[in-house]
Chain A
Amino acid sequence: MNAVTSSGATDPVPAPGLESRPASPVPTPRQLARTRRRAALARFWREYRKDRRGMFGLVVLAVMIAVALAAPVLASSRGLNPIYATATPNAGPSLAYPLGTDADGRSVLTLLIWGSRNSLLVGLTATLISILIGALVGVVAGHFGSIRARAGRLTDNVLMRGTDWFLVVPFLPLAMVLARTLGPSLGVIILVIGLTSWAGTARIVRAQALAVETRPYLERAKALGAGHWHQMYRHVLPNVMPLLLANTILTVAGTILAETTLSFLGLGDPIRPTWGQMLGSAYEYGVGTGNLLWLLAPGIAVILVVLAFTLVGHALEAVLDPKLRER
C-alpha cells in the first residue's frame, strides 16, 4: 500500500503559465485520507454527543475505569488484608473511613476501589472470550449455512443446535457446577462466564453473516478462487464488525452482573475482592447490625457500571446504525 500512496503523492510539475498564480497547497492523498478520517471521527463524536444517556454512561465508565486503574494510588493494597486492619469493625462512615468499615475492620472504600479493578477485569476478559467464541461460531455457521449444499447445512445445524443448548440451559446451575469443579479463582470465573455467555452473540452474528453472504462481493470472492477461511475472514467478518462492537459493550454489562452473582454466591477468589464478594460477605456477616454502606456501596457500583455499559452500548448501536438514528 505504501508504494501506491507515495507514487500518487508526488506533486504534479506546475505548468509554466501557472507559476505566477499563488500556489495553493494541493493535499496529498494521504493527507486527504487523514483529514477525511478525522472528519468521520468528529461526525461520529457529534452524533454520539447528542445522545445524553449515552454521554452519562460514558462519563460514569470513564470515572470507573480511571478509579480501577489508579487503585494502587488511591488506596494501599495493605488495606485489603484483615491482619493490618485496626479500625472498629462494622463502623459507620467517619473521616478516616468515608464509607465505614466491614466486619474485619477494613475500609469499605478501599474494598470498593480494589473491587472495581477485579470486577471490571473479569467483566472485560470474560466478554472478550464470549465475543470471540460467539463471532467464530456465528460467522462459520452463517457462512456454511448460506451454502445450500448438504455439508454446509450440516455444519450450520450442528453449530446452531449447540448454541441453542447454551441458550436454554439455565446459566446459574451450569456456571456454579463449572466454577465448583474447576476451583475458586479469578481465571476460572472468567472462563466460566466466557464459556456460558456467547450464545446470544453467535445468533446475532449468524443472522448478519447470512445477510452479508448474499452480497455480490462474496460471489466475486468465490469467483476469485477464495477459500472458506478467506471469505469469512476478509469479507464476512469485517462487515459484521459494527454489530459485533455494539454487542460487545452490551455483553460487558451482562458478564459483570454474572461475575457479581457468582462472587456473591462465594464461588470467586476469596483473596481478590470483587463487588459481588463484598455484597456476599456483607449479607453474610453484618447487614443491619452496623454499616449499611458496606452493602449499598458495591450494590450501587454494580448498578451504575451495568447501566453505563448498557447506555453506551445502545448509544453506539444507534450511531452505527443509521436506521435507528432517525427514530
Chain B
Amino acid sequence: MALLELRDLTVTYATASGPVPAVRGVNLTVDAGQTLGLAGESGCGKSTIATSILRLLPSSATVTGQILFNGADVLTMNWGRLRAVRWAGASIVFQGALHSLNPVQRIGRQIAEPILLHEPGVSKQSAAGRVVRLLSQVGLPAARADSYPHELSGGQKQRVMIAMALACSPSLIIADEPTTALDVMIQAQVLNLITDLVRETGVGMIMISHDLSVLSATCQRLAVMYAGRIVEEGPAHEVFTAARHPYAQALSWAFPVIGDTRTRMSPRGLAGDPPDPAQLPSGCGFHPRCAVALAQCSAREMELWPAGDGRLAACVQVLNEEEGGQPARSVADENRSAGEAVA
C-alpha cells in the first residue's frame, strides 16, 4: 500500500468572480521512504496540493477526489483522526520559516509543541530531552532551545522548522519550498540536511519547488505541474536532463549546464505568463505558449501518456513519438536533441 495516494484530486477556490480551479485532476503516489519532487511556476497548484493533504485549505476551497494517507481518506476523516494525522503522520516544513515561528515563544517550547500535543503522557523533561536531540540532528547547539526566533538567522530558523517537522517521527514530510528566502550557501546546507535526514530516517517526502535542479538533486521522482495538472512525471534525473513535455523542457533549460557552450548560446526562457486559472485555454493548457504546438492541441484534452521507462508525459508530441508516428520537427526539437546529447 502506498504511503500517500492522490486520486483525481481537484481543488476549486470560490472567489467573488466565480469558481477558480487551482488543481484539476491530479493523480500522484508516494511510497514509504520515497521522495517526490513537485515542480512548476507560481500559481500552478503545488502549494494547494501540499496544504490539501493535511486538509489545511481555507473553507472557500472545494476539494473532490481522494487523498489516501496509509489507505485512509483524509478528506472524509473525522476531526480526531485528522488531528492525529496532522504532524504525527505527516508534517510540513513551511516556506516562510521566518514567519512560521511564534515570536514570543522560545524555540525549545515550539519544537516540543507537537510532542506535547500528540503524546499526552510525555513529561516536560523528556520532551526537552527530545528537543535537544532534534536540535543536534539539524546541527544546532542545544543552548539554542532557550532562544527566541528573532535571535536566530534565516538558515537557523529553517533548521528549527525541520527539527519541528521531525519531532513526532512522521512517515511523510511535505517540504513546501523549504529554501526560499535563503541565500545560496544556506540553501545548499539546508538541502543537504534534508537529504541526509530523509536517508537516515527513511521518511517519505514531497518537496515542492520551482527549482528543478534542487529537486533533481534531492528527489527520486519528479512531477512537473502546469495550470493545475501534472504534465510530466518520471525519475528525477531523467526528467531534469531529458524532459519530454515542452513545458518541462523549458523549465529544465532555465538552468545552464556549466561548461557547455552549445546550450549557453541556444535560446531559452519561456515567453508569456501562466494562464489565469479562471480562464484556462481549451485543450492543452500550455498550447498558447508552446513552441511545438499542433493544430489539435487547442482542441484535444491531454492526459498522461506513457513516455518511456517509468515516465509519463501529457503531450501529443510524446504520444506520437511513442506510437512511432512522425514527430513534427521544430527549432525547439533541435535544441532538445542538443541538450540530450550533452546529457
Chain A positions near chain B (C-beta within 8 angstroms): 1-5, 7-9, 29-30, 33, 147-149, 215-217, 219-227, 230, 234-235, 238-239, 241
Contact = CB atoms under 8 A, between A and B. Distances in A.
Contacts of B59: 147-149
Contact of B99 (A30, A216, A230): A216
B117 A217 contact: no
Contacts of B105: 234, 238
Interface of A is mostly: helix
B128 A8 contact: no
A314 B57 CA distance: 40
B105 to A, nearest CB: 7
Contacts of B117: 224-226, 230
Contact of A4 (B85, B100, B103, B142): B142
Given A215-B99, A217-B102, A238-B102, A3 B128 contact: yes
Given A29-B146, A230-B117, A225 B58 contact: no
A4 B131 contact: yes
A3 B99 contact: no
Contacts of B103: 217, 239
Interface in B120-161: 124-125, 128-129, 131-132, 141-143, 145-146
Nearest to A241: B104
B207 interface: no
A9 B145 CA distance: 12
Given A2-B125, A225-B87, A33 B146 contact: yes
A133 B59 CA distance: 29
A151 B74 CA distance: 21
A29 B135 CA distance: 16
A3 to B, nearest CB: 5
B146 A8 contact: yes
Contacts of A9: 143
A3 B131 CA distance: 10
The listed residue with most B CB atoms (<10 A of its CB), out of A217, A226, A230, A241, is A217
B141 A8 contact: yes
Nearest to B60: A148
Contacts of A33: 146
Interface stretch (B107-115, B190-198, B272-280): B107-115
Nearest to A9: B143
B313 interface: no
29 contacts: A1-B106, A1-B124, A1-B128, A3-B128, A4-B108, A4-B128, A4-B146, A5-B143, A5-B145, A9-B143, A148-B58, A216-B94, A216-B96, A216-B99, A217-B99, A217-B103, A219-B94, A221-B102, A222-B56, A223-B54, A223-B86, A223-B94, A224-B86, A224-B113, A224-B114, A225-B86, A234-B105, A239-B102, A241-B104
Contacts of A239: 102-104
A147 B91 CA distance: 22
A129 B129 CA distance: 39
B145 A4 contact: yes
Chain B, interface size category, equals 35 or more
B113 A226 contact: yes
Closest 8 CB pairs of A and B: A8-B143, A225-B86, A4-B145, A29-B143, A225-B83, A216-B99, A149-B59, A216-B100
Contacts of A234: 102, 105, 113
Nearest to B101: A217
Interface of B: 54, 56, 58-60, 82-88, 91-92, 94, 96, 99-106, 108-109, 113-114, 117-118, 124-125, 128-129, 131-132, 141-143, 145-146
Nearest to A238: B104
Contacts of A8: 141-143, 145-146
B129 A3 contact: yes
A235 B102 contact: yes
A225 B88 contact: yes
Contact of B100 (A5, A217, A227, A230): A217
A7 B132 contact: yes
Contacts of A225: 82-88, 114, 117-118
A223 B117 CA distance: 12
A1 B146 contact: yes
Contact of B145 (A1, A217, A222, A230): A1
A224 B87 contact: yes
A235 B102 CA distance: 7
Given A4-B143, A239-B103, 10 more contacts: A2-B128, A4-B128, A29-B146, A215-B99, A216-B99, A217-B99, A223-B92, A225-B82, A225-B87, A225-B117
A209 B84 CA distance: 26
A233 to B, nearest CB: 12
Nearest to B95: A216
Given A3-B125, A4-B108, A8-B146, A219 B86 contact: no
A238 B54 CA distance: 26
The listed residue with most B CB atoms (<10 A of its CB), out of A1, A219, A230, is A1
Contacts of B101: 217, 220
Nearest to B128: A3
Contacts of A216: 94, 96, 99-100
A33 B100 CA distance: 23
Contacts of A149: 59
A148 B59 CA distance: 6
Nearest to A227: B83
Contact of A219 (B56, B114, B143): B56
A223 B142 contact: no
A6 to B, nearest CB: 9
